[in-house]
Structure 1
Amino acid sequence: MSTTEGDLLHTVETGSISRSRRFWGHAALWLSALWLIASFILQASQDLGWTGFGFDNWRPVLYAYFIWAFVLCVTRVVIYGESGKKALFVLPAALFVVSMVVFPLLFALWVGFSNWNLASLTGRQFNGLDNLRQMIADPFYANALLNMVYYCLAIAIEYAIAFGLALLLNQEIVARKFWRVTFLVPLMLSPVAISWMVGKSMLEPRFGPIARFARWLGWENPSFFGDPLTARLSIMIMDAWTFIPFMMIMLLAGLQALPREVLEAAEVDGATKWQRFWQVIFPLMLPVSVTAVMIRIIFKLKLADIIITVTSGGPGGATDSVTSFIYREYRDRSNVGYGTLLALVYLVIIVIGMTGLMKISDRIVRRMTGRL
């Protein structure tokens, strides 16, 4: 018996793999890849109208991708031996991400540059840059983008309120645990439920309690969603009431994690409460604050449920967010192609904007914390 046969820990290295084994491994990989490319080109050319033959749908292309992914995993071991086995720890997850993220994104691009109205009998038709031109000339989409700027700027006020509540609940006040749970209640409710309880009931202009209180104060015809400015502010308040507890609990956790030695040293040095907050607490809380604000911006960019339930974007698109506008483009107009292009453009704006904000915030945090 040879030493390799008796060694249970023997591994197959790349140098010990025969040429014929590598050849058949590469051949199987290239054949599966060629079949995937050929099936994709065949189906794409049929959908574009370049050829009159192809598959009934894109399902054969999906099957070809699964076959290629399986062959890719197997041939890693066939061609590279032990190092190929190491790749199997990551490769299936990467292929799954490609199938669940990259493919839908490519399909969205395919749909975004086509005229596809579900109410039409002609089906989907490639229209080039027509949807992009329509988007540039669409005043309602531009208005929705501008509204998103207003909604995101309101996060500064939400952050100030959340920080104040976190500072309050971090003190030794009476019934502190009760107040912490009470302030978290809005976060536990669904935004749709809040829309009905507050927007549809309490703010109802005829019989709502808040409307009655406004009339008692002298507002003759209180209409919280009839005026564009008032409607936008009402949406901001309802959304803020829902998500301020989220930032509050993150900031409270950051306050409780602050080193007590630093705070006590500042107090011993004679710093006032304002000096301790502005020169010690606030700089130390910047990493947590930036994280809370960034996550809040992400939630704000997806704002739609409250708007759809309460105002449906009205009056005249004054409260529309980009997400609610795209939703109505799908639901009311059944314009899948144009709505998909709007969503893709919004995705690009979010990626670029969030990347820029993260870089700017990182510089600010480094500059502020470097002074301590």
Structure 2
Amino acid sequence: MTTSQATAQRPSPANAAPAPAGTGAVAQGDQHLWRWISFTPALAMMLALSVLPIVNLVITSFQDISWADGQATRSFAGLAHYKALFSDNLFAAGLRNTVIFALAAVAGQMVLAFAMALMVSRIVRGRVLYRAIFILPLLIPGIVIGAIWKLMLNFDFGLVNKLLGLFGFMPHDWLGSPETALFSVIVVDIWHWTPFCFLLFLAGLESLPQDVFEASKMDGASAWQELVHITLPLMVPTIIVTFAFRLIVAFKVFDEVYLLTGGGPGTSTEVLSFTLYQRFFTEDKAGYGSAMSVAIIFIVSILLVIAISARRGAGRQS
């Protein structure tokens, strides 16, 4: 028997016996069930660590809590805590300062980080060294950053006033003056978090398609035209994600304010997180502090929704 005759006698796939009806559906159902079984522990942990505490926080925000003989006494307060937020001067000052702080600090970080990332992306030799130097502030613990800048901004022997004295300027109480206290905290936050934005921008620049830049150079585009018409449009998704993440984190600033100014002088550096700390832990107003926490979560959630919408809009345009 020849090879062609043997091949002809082999059953073709079309003549093969069909699979039992419903076998594929059963296998797909088993996979679906197994996925849910595998996902259940993670879902239960997420509910236990995030959803349940938030639910408890919301419930507590409608209650007054007092302590007697080590026991908590709860009484229903209704919307009284939420109404009190509108007449709380510290909350209003904290919200105003937080918005100013977040917008100013994040804007400064974005501009500096993008310039640094653009510079490093065009360096051929020594890129790793520059990257290591630029991310150093991000590796320093917050308590150390507070100590460093409190010494640098000290009125009597601070390095900043010493440098200003070399140019004939009088020393200034940077952290003790209401006019410059918030500005000083913003500068510290820019110094601290610019490396984070730098890393994200550098990763985004290095992932851009190089054929577009090569085509622009062949067309005679200048460096400025390349930046405005190619680099920035391609970097819009990365810029939006970085801005949104940093804005949300900036709204939760606490350690820098606590270490540098303690919310003072007056209410010049009062921020939402520090106001919440005072109400919840110092004044022991658990119900009112819970209501303030819910309000802060609501504000941050709005920012998150806006960021996601902007990111999707940029993705559709690109």
Given the two structures, how large is their TM-score scaled by the length of structure 1? 0.72
Aligned to 1:272: 222
User: What is the identity percentage for the equivalent residue pairs of Structure 1 and Structure 2?
Assistant: 27
For 2:122, the aligned partner's letter is Q
> Runs of 5+ in structure 1 lacking a partner?
1-9, 14-79
- 1:135 equivalent in alignment to 2:85: yes
What is the alpha-carbon distance in structure 2 between the residues aligned to residue 164 and residue 298 of structure 1? 22
Aligned to 1:162: 113
For 1:268, the aligned partner's letter is M
1:346 Cα shift?
A: 0.6
Aligned to 2:55: 106
Aligned to 2:38: 89
What is the alpha-carbon distance in structure 2 between the residues aligned to residue 317 and residue 185 of structure 1? 32
How do 1:168-183 residues align onto structure 2 when only pairs under 5 Å count?
Answer: 168-172=119-123, 175-183=126-134
1:88 Cα shift?
A: 2.2
Count residues in correspondence: 290
- 1:351 equivalent in alignment to 2:301: yes
1:172 Cα shift?
A: 2.4
What is the alpha-carbon distance in structure 2 between the residues aligned to residue 254 and residue 83 of structure 1? 36
What is the alpha-carbon distance in structure 1 between the residues aligned to residue 210 and residue 202 of structure 2? 15
Q: Give per-residue Cα distances to partners, 1:125-145, cap 9 Å, x unaligned.
A: 322222112111101111111
Aligned to 2:267: 317
The correspondence for 2:65, drawn from 116, 119, 128, is 116
Q: Give per-residue Cα distances to partners, 1:229-250, cap 9 Å, x unaligned.
A: 3111100010110110111111
SS in structure 2 at match of 1:124: strand
Aligned to 1:32: none
What is the alpha-carbon distance in structure 2 between the residues aligned to residue 120 and residue 136 of structure 1? 33
CA contact 1:304–1:323 (8 Å) conserved in 2: yes
Quickly say closer, same or farther: Cα 1:214–1:116, change in 2 above 3 A: farther
Q: Give per-residue Cα distances to partners, 1:139-160, cap 9 Å, x unaligned.
A: 1111111112112212122211
1:101 Cα shift?
A: 2.2
CA contact 1:118–1:334 (8 Å) conserved in 2: no
RMSD (CA atoms): 2.5
Quickly say closer, same or farther: Cα 1:88–1:280, change in 2 above 3 A: same
What is the alpha-carbon distance in structure 1 between the residues aligned to residue 48 and residue 136 of structure 2? 39
- 1:207 equivalent in alignment to 2:134: no
The correspondence for 1:144, drawn from 81, 94, 100, is 94
1:114 Cα shift?
A: 1.7
Of structures 1 and 2, the one scoring higher in RCO (CA 8 A, sep 6+) is 2
How do 1:195-344 residues align onto structure 2 when only pairs under 5 Å count?
Answer: 195-198=146-149, 200-344=150-294
1:120 Cα shift?
A: 9.8
Quickly say closer, same or farther: Cα 1:285–1:88, change in 2 above 3 A: same
CA contact 1:117–1:337 (8 Å) conserved in 2: no
What is the alpha-carbon distance in structure 2 between the residues aligned to residue 305 and residue 119 of structure 1? 32
Quickly say closer, same or farther: Cα 1:301–1:87, change in 2 above 3 A: same
What is the alpha-carbon distance in structure 1 between the residues aligned to residue 100 and residue 43 of structure 2? 38
Given the two structures, how large is their TM-score scaled by the length of structure 2? 0.83
